[in-house]
Structure 1
Amino acid sequence: MSNANGTTKKTTAGSRTVRFRIKRQEAHGKPSRWEEFDVPVQSSAEGSGSANVISCLQWIAANPVTVRGEQTTPVTYDSGCLEEVCGSCTMVINGKVRQSCSCLIDEYAPNDGDTITLEPMSKFPVNRDLFVDRSRLFNDLKRINAWVPIDGTYHLGAGPEESPEKQQTRYKLSECMSCGCCLEACPQYTLEDDEDKWEGSFVGAAVISQARYFNLHGTGKELEKKRLDVLSQKGGVSDCGNAQNCVRVCPKEIPLTESIGAMGRSVTVHKIKEFFSGS
């Protein structure tokens, strides 16, 4: 590989240089800029294990110097488990939203000199650089009562029995980690940085699917009416445009469109019952 001066840049066997082009921003509403970093990466064939985007960001944090030789600040990002469970390291990588901890460099940049572009999610306010504020998502989960109502921690005896079929359905829905991938890909889910607008904006596939998950629970369904009331309002399940982008980008392959359809039917039945009962 040759550098800007035309001289050959040597790399050790099995190693290469990957260029990271990162969108940076001091805070929401502040001007953004692009910075580039060259990161040395070893191939997994060398027995060192494949590098991922997070490990490369850690290298940049220890060596915050751009390709132009300018000293800069370490790139800010969010991460936790580093094994695609917590959902906090979501970002847009080469134009597609996904988890950065499971994004392997050998797959995205297999050759010396390849470039990887990192951007923050566009549907949430930017705290700094690649770290966004997902408070709206968690607020919507609170609105639909995304929990099982249990009064106290004392022993309540055996819970309600569930069929194996329902257990299998609920298990898959339980894998949601509130990462925000489905929301980033959804055309109906738009950036709302004003908390006053949250209640009337579309809640998105993750929240709808979690409402289904808790409604299927033997004890959780005690709050079913409250959840259906929220999803029948503006911003609820009827605001889905059926683009189906959500199910394509879900890292856990949760059947989100199936959940949206199921909750749409439940909301319809719920409103019909309300109409004839006068409640």
Structure 2
Amino acid sequence: MAEKKTVLVRIKRQLAPDQKPYWEEFELTWRPFMNVIILLRDIAERPVTREGKVTTPVAFDANCLEEVCGACAMRINGKARQACSALVDQLEQPIRLEPLTKFPVVRDLFVDRSRMFENLKRMKAWVPIDGTYHLGEGPRIAPEVQQRAYPLSRCITCGNCLEVCPQVNERSDFVGAAIINQVRLFNLHPTGAMHKRERLDAVMGPGGVHDCANAQNCVKACPKGIPLVESISEVNRDAIRQAIFGWLFG
């Protein structure tokens, strides 16, 4: 009888935000087409370490399981990526799972990414409406604008771009590439463009586009292939232009 194939997983755990992290190792039965989410679910069904110690299920965040929601972002073998698209057969063992380091840990692999949503508010990355009543048809979007906007709209707010950015740290308020990309997206939208000036004023402030040091790690880490460096460059250009015109003409 053939010996069962197994998967070794090392997980950095932390029971609460104010407690010290520690590592636990698990050995799981291999199955075809396993991804990291399946590994974590297997541990939840039988939370026993490799040494035979009964432990608690590992806390993690996930929802869509098809790289759309962004919730399952974590560090897998040292790389920020989505757990749902990380296939076990393509990973070196022992597979090392850690929480993202640029966000507060809630428990185990589950982090609090609210800073991203707060920064979207800071940069006014939305289209305001006057009420909940029917507003009728909005302005038509030209096909060439649609083609420029679609890649930008694919952001899933996973936080990978912040995780790999050296400018995002405890000494900086930099909002990160994802938020600046959303500024560009809403400035392209015909209705959003009505508030372009306010958005550019916000993005010129503390933690805005001028805090980017052009490391370009973000574009490599983005799971959706968004042209983040291009977005930062375009928003920076628009912000400088607005600042110069404001200085010259008040």
Which residue matches 1:61? 44
Q: Does 1:76 align with 2:44?
A: no
8 Å CA contact retained: 1:124, 1:191: no
Q: Does 1:214 align with 2:214?
A: no
1:52 maps to a residue whose letter is N
Which residue matches 1:35? 24
Q: Distance in 2 between matches of 1:239 and 1:139?
A: 18
How far 1:149 moved relative to its partner? 1.8
1:222 maps to a residue whose letter is M
Q: Would you say how many aligned residue pairs link Structure 1 and Structure 2? A: 250
Q: Distance in 1 between matches of 2:133 and 2:16?
A: 45
Q: Partner of 2:239: helix, strand, or coil?
A: helix
> Which of 220, 224, 228 lines up with 1:256 in the alignment?
228
Q: Does 1:105 align with 2:105?
A: no
How far 1:157 moved relative to its partner? 3.4
Q: Partner of 2:3: helix, strand, or coil?
A: coil
8 Å CA contact retained: 2:124, 2:202: no
Change (3 A) 1:116 1:9: farther
Q: Which is higher, the Rg of structure 1 or of structure 2?
A: 1
How well do the aligned residues superpose, as a CA RMSD in angstroms? 1.6
Which residue matches 1:86? 69
Q: Distance in 1 between matches of 2:137 and 2:58?
A: 49
Q: Does 1:10 align with 2:3?
A: yes
Q: Distance in 2 between matches of 1:9 and 1:161?
A: 63
How far 1:233 moved relative to its partner? 1.1
2:26 maps to a residue whose letter is F
Q: Distance in 2 between matches of 1:186 and 1:28?
A: 23
Which residue matches 2:128? 149
Which residue matches 1:171? 150
Q: Partner of 1:22: helix, strand, or coil?
A: strand
8 Å CA contact retained: 2:173, 2:206: yes
Unaligned runs of 5+ residues in structure 1 are 1-7, 44-49, 193-199
Percent identity among equivalent residues? 55
Unaligned runs of 5+ residues in structure 2 are none
Q: Does 1:22 align with 2:1?
A: no
Q: Partner of 1:42: helix, strand, or coil?
A: coil
How far 1:240 moved relative to its partner? 0.3
Output the TM-score relative to the length of structure 2: 0.96
1:237 maps to a residue whose letter is V
How far 1:158 moved relative to its partner? 3.0
8 Å CA contact retained: 2:26, 2:50: yes
Q: Partner of 2:74: helix, strand, or coil?
A: strand
Superposed, 1:128-139 pairs within 5 Å as 128-139=107-118
Q: Partner of 1:228: helix, strand, or coil?
A: helix
Q: Distance in 2 between matches of 1:154 and 1:64?
A: 50
Q: Distance in 2 between matches of 1:27 and 1:207?
A: 28
